[in-house]
């Protein structure tokens, strides 16, 4: 799912950082500006799927960064 943030960053919604907001809701944080998107346009099941995929991609980026010669600069 392609998204554009208010700051102008564009890309897959799932490539944003998954976070639990202060109100204990799942959100995706823009790596450019920190904006939290709760994905209100999606139904609950779809929100969970997008958040789950975002978690998987985030963990994959962390694992890549931990490898020797990994891309450490891309991990938020």
- Token representation of residue 43: 């139904």
DSSP calls for 37-67: E--TTS-HHHHHHHHHHHHHHHHHHHHHHHS
Could you state, in order of their start, the residue ranges of all structural domains in the chain? Answer: 2-69
HSE, CB side, 13 Å, CA atoms: give it for residue 27. 14
pTM score, two decimals? Answer: 0.75
Residue pLDDT, tens place only, 9-18: 888 888 899 9
Residue pLDDT, tens place only, 39-48: 889 999 999 9
């Amino acid at each position: 799912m392609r998204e554009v943030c208010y700051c102008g960053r564009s890309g897959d919604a799932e490539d944003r950082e998954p976070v639990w907001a202060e109100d204990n809701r799942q959100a995706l944080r823009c790596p450019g500006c920190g904006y939290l998107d709760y994905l209100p346009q999606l139904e609950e099941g779809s929100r969970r799927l997008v958040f789950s995929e975002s978690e998987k991609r985030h963990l994959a980026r962390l694992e890549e960064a931990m490898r020797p010669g990994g891309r450490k600069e891309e991990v938020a």
